[in-house]
Amino acid sequence: MQALIDNRRYLIEAAPPRQSAKDLEAELKKFKARYLTILERGHAVCITDNAMGHLSFQGTELIKELSLPTAAGRVLLHLNTYHSGKNLDQILQTAAELGTTDILVITGDGSERLPKLAPREIGSDSINTSSVDLIKYIHREYPGKFTLGAAYNQYEPHDFEQKKLEEKIRAGAAFIIT
């Protein structure tokens, strides 16, 4: 991340195609072109994870399926708590195999079509799984494999969000994105 900042490089979001896309082939081609353009211009690409609760393809699936390059420090996967424990581990194992080590961990926007990760699946005693729980889990189960970041929601009350931010940092978030 520091190299990006020092060299005036930017994190640019690339939303994966929704699984309900009418012309999936065209959407996959657009995603691939955007992804490659971002990297070719020296920036880092951020791949969202079911943004706004819309069922979309997962970043690791797309990287693998489309044979996309994963330049170190230039691909940032978003990972939320709307996955089954089994699917979560598949995503993390694939990310590690691909050399994609930077992950923005967020609680995420759910929907009735997305499974909510049960706290017990990741060894948490929380009532609901949060990004803090997920950060702790990833550090515990995949030590040293990933650099994890967290989000700061500037639209929530400051005191509430500040407390959550401190929890995320204590859990092991190495960077924060608003």
| In the chain, domain spans | 2-177
Determine how many CB atoms are found less than 10 A away from the CB of residue 85: 16
Q: State the DSSP code for 18.
A: B
Three-state secondary-structure class, residue 28: helix
CA distance to 62, 115, 134, per residue, from 67 (Å): 8, 28, 28
pLDDT score recorded for residue 11: 87
Amino acid at 173: A
Counting residues of the chain whose pLDDT is more than 70, the rounded percentage is 93
Residue 49 CA to residue 137 CA, distance in Å, equals 18
In terms of Cβ atoms closer than 10 Å to its own Cβ (0-12, 13-18, 19+), residue 160 is: exposed
pLDDT score recorded for residue 39: 95
**Which of 57, 49, 40 is closest to 13 using CA atoms?**
49
Candidate from 9-18, 86-95, 96-105 with smallest mean pLDDT: 9-18
Residue 42, sorted as left (phi over 0), alpha (psi -120 to 50) or beta, turns out to be left
Reported as a single tens digit per residue, the pLDDT across 92-130 is 999 999 999 999 999 887 777 777 888 888 888 888 889
CATH 3.20.20.220 assigned to domain 2-177? The reply is: yes
**What is the pTM (predicted TM-score) of this model?**
0.89
| CB contact at 8 A, 156 and 124 | no
- Which strands, in side-by-side order, build the sheet including 175-177? 11-14, 44-47, 75-79, 102-105, 147-151, 175-177
Residue 150 CA to residue 171 CA, distance in Å, equals 10
Amino acid at 37: T
Q: State the DSSP code for 105.
A: E
